[in-house]
Structure 1
């Protein structure tokens, strides 16, 4: 056994793993068919075909005040309209909030989720401890349950907080939301699926938010294992020695300059005996750029998000397992730590991948494709999947082409493109196809089989990764710029978004049913 130097031991102590925690929320969600009388805020969901608003227990004075306020504010129940009445006449609540839902049958899931997030943001600015949401004006029981569960999901997504490093964290939102619904059992069943999805998003946010010296490869893998194994997911963690034994020099090389060497995390949910769907996520737990050093302080500080692809695939498998989805899906997360030292990889080095192909490292800051190359090969070699989807914060070129409203996707399989577009529209994690060709030679090298740079940049990354998918149907998702928001917006609090969990979870379900 090797003895650690005092300096190395101190570094490991400073970077000790952070324990996982499933206590993501302090808000409570209840579904009932009978109203209680203890709410401080009453929210009423109002369809667009409502002529005059009056609930069963309202007096004439209450109805008159509410309808007059609706008239003055031109509130007609259109989707996402909101009207607040303070101290409503004849009601034992401090606030009455009307929220328009338009035609419930035509209200997209993502709009209902955004409405839930807007409601959470609104009540978080008040002192209300209990919020009653009366949804019964949506008379169709199926639509009532669907819209209610989606709104409750939006509340949850907005109310997540990452505060594990604050000595005195601000109080988290801790309201009780009582949803007065047409069918409590059906609404609860819809919500249970959404809560499984939310927990997958929260796990991804936790992993992405971890600082570089805390969420290093071994710590990331262990935190994921603690969250995944209780769900019945088979977890395998390969350390640096095993990575070298398997010949994955492309993955190993990115971390060779760090005290935190490369790991490979595999999470397998065998919900069926079908051929598996493989999700491969880039897990560069911190990226200095290596000897092609990032020189912008703002850019390098944001590099905790370079593990967002790995977090997305782990969160998606967690969500599917928590839901007990009858799908065979495996997540493969190559994990690295791209630092500079006397042992770090140099520009111009050549690495040998698990497949035997060699790559010239023309730029040490194009490291994501290096670790993904071995991750994709491992998934193909060890699981024989029916399809491989890789996801990564890969290129600035993607941000220049599409901004942050879309991810870029690259594939030659029409069915994959079609189903991913559908999943993106269903979750508002939108995708846009960019061409793979004619760029056949943009990653060719004079001294190796391949080169890790080329132009156009986004296509160069995709072209290199395609090589390692071989004959397996494959898609590359470049989610650069989507992993973090600077300030709270919509369903996202400030910080990591958990982007990709909702997209991949939805896509796996759609693709598995094809």
Structure 2
């Protein structure tokens, strides 16, 4: 299949960006033990219950003005407090911004990232080109490095922009941040790992944001390959004929009505010789619903996000490889394009999955479980993993049950549930367990081994997928509603969130250490 020269250029840019973030960010970060230049904005991190504030080089008049402002605004250094002083007396900066960090040892990574996102939003509303961040009041070396890096990471996450299709895009945030830290090496070590994670999130956001006619299966797979292989990840792409030859009719059938046929992407980071952890992500690159057509214009417009599960597993492997994590992890992304034509799958058709079982396609808009079925089977059959986690924008029923603050998780393994909950709390990508039973007959079919619909909807999808994991410990993550936000919030700019990368990266680390 031919790929446009424009797309090749995008692929090359993405491969560069994984090492330098150049494709995603224009801000610069430098950690130093001594500030070397002037700045328009000075940011000071202030611990909780700071009564009197005075830094090296401040005059008595400067300290008096700042402390008076703190008193009037009741600024105590509590976490997430922010106080701006315009044209502070005796200082050369245009703005002084005090940022509360609470008790440093109690400040969580999530709180620090949110502080960074709020700081980015504030700085972006000004004309400042250079920003100094003085962290010297956080005196403990380890805490200073951790907090500084986490806040810088929050700035990065908020400053991502997807603007490749705009002929005259708005200027991206392009400030230079210089961080005065207690120890360069401590801050840089923390930040290096978080930079790898940020690039994994950015890669996922980029893939999800791509329109359906640009991010089709072959294009998605090649863009992922270009980003992953420079990191030392082994990438395999199975084309449509290989998918058919391996008997994956459940995956193949979803795309048979499109000119962009099914693909299977496999990305393997072999950071150890342990039995691998398998991540399987739904990659329906655009979903019309097929002959069970989506009739809401708002719903169908958001269907570029139906590849968010695949983007999440690709971004997770990228993050782990960038960190050189000593973990054996494989991402499997079944990729489809669910369109209508004279060759499209029909409601009531029967397909044969990779494991040899038959499926009645009772609804062509329940296509995610069809492609995941073969993705899960492939991971189990070809990698013999110790555990399989699948992630997908699967059901509207999940949104009805939990909204968009939580993902729904389904598993019978308590250790998986426990570690996923911890990972969710650590990353603010929260999960909530829904029951798998007693719903054992909801996917039974009159004419095939099972059908791809049932009620209740979220449970039916999970139970359908459980079969293909066989005896391998397994969890299903339904992230419907979490992939896209209509306006900027916290660490996320408007658009794709990259949801799942932070959750799965953290979970893989925790689970692999069990």
- What TM-score do you get using the length of structure 1 for normalisation? 0.97
Report what 2:356 is aligned to: 356
Quote the Cα distance in structure 1 between the aligned partners of 2:7 and 2:229.
21
Report what 2:160 is aligned to: 160
The reply on whether 1:306 has 2:297 as its aligned counterpart is: no
Larger CA deviation: 32-41 vs 182-191: 32-41
Report what 1:263 is aligned to: 263
Deviation at 1:36, TM superposition (A): 2.6
| 8 Å Cα contact 2:49/2:78 also seen in 1 | no
SS in 2 for 1:19: helix
Deviation at 1:35, TM superposition (A): 1.7
| 8 Å Cα contact 1:18/1:219 also seen in 2 | no
The reply on whether 1:40 has 2:16 as its aligned counterpart is: no
Report what 1:19 is aligned to: 10
Report what 1:234 is aligned to: 234
Report what 2:150 is aligned to: 150
Report what 2:20 is aligned to: none
SS in 1 for 2:10: coil
Give the gaps of 5 or more residues in structure 1: none
Deviation at 1:424, TM superposition (A): 0.3
| 8 Å Cα contact 2:368/2:392 also seen in 1 | yes
Quote the Cα distance in structure 2 between the aligned partners of 1:280 and 1:481.
18
> Between Structure 1 and Structure 2, how many residues are aligned?
505
| 8 Å Cα contact 2:82/2:100 also seen in 1 | yes
| 8 Å Cα contact 1:15/1:214 also seen in 2 | no
- In structure 2, relative to structure 1, the CA distance for the partners of 1:198 and 1:286 (3 Å cut) is same
Quote the Cα distance in structure 2 between the aligned partners of 1:56 and 1:218.
58
- Cα-to-partner distance string for 1:447-496 (whole Å, 9 max, x where unaligned): 10011000000000000000000000000000000001100110001100
Report what 1:50 is aligned to: 50
Report what 1:367 is aligned to: 367
- In structure 2, relative to structure 1, the CA distance for the partners of 1:227 and 1:512 (3 Å cut) is same
Deviation at 1:15, TM superposition (A): 9.8
Report what 2:500 is aligned to: 500
Deviation at 1:19, TM superposition (A): 1.9
Quote the Cα distance in structure 1 between the aligned partners of 2:316 and 2:392.
14
SS in 2 for 1:409: strand
| 8 Å Cα contact 1:45/1:100 also seen in 2 | yes
Quote the Cα distance in structure 2 between the aligned partners of 1:205 and 1:100.
30
| 8 Å Cα contact 1:17/1:219 also seen in 2 | no
Deviation at 1:16, TM superposition (A): 5.8
Give the gaps of 5 or more residues in structure 2: 18-22
Quote the Cα distance in structure 1 between the aligned partners of 2:186 and 2:46.
21
Report what 2:127 is aligned to: 127
| 8 Å Cα contact 2:82/2:99 also seen in 1 | yes
Structural mapping, 1:170-185, within 5 Å:
170-185=170-185
The reply on whether 1:343 has 2:334 as its aligned counterpart is: no
Report what 1:377 is aligned to: 377
Structural mapping, 1:391-410, within 5 Å:
391-410=391-410
Quote the Cα distance in structure 1 between the aligned partners of 2:134 and 2:407.
37
Moved over 4 A (4+): 12-18
Quote the Cα distance in structure 1 between the aligned partners of 2:181 and 2:239.
50
Structural mapping, 1:297-336, within 5 Å:
297-336=297-336
RMSD of aligned alpha carbons: 1.2
- In structure 2, relative to structure 1, the CA distance for the partners of 1:14 and 1:273 (3 Å cut) is closer
- In structure 2, relative to structure 1, the CA distance for the partners of 1:307 and 1:18 (3 Å cut) is farther
Quote the Cα distance in structure 1 between the aligned partners of 2:421 and 2:47.
29
Report what 1:446 is aligned to: 446
Quote the Cα distance in structure 2 between the aligned partners of 1:225 and 1:135.
39
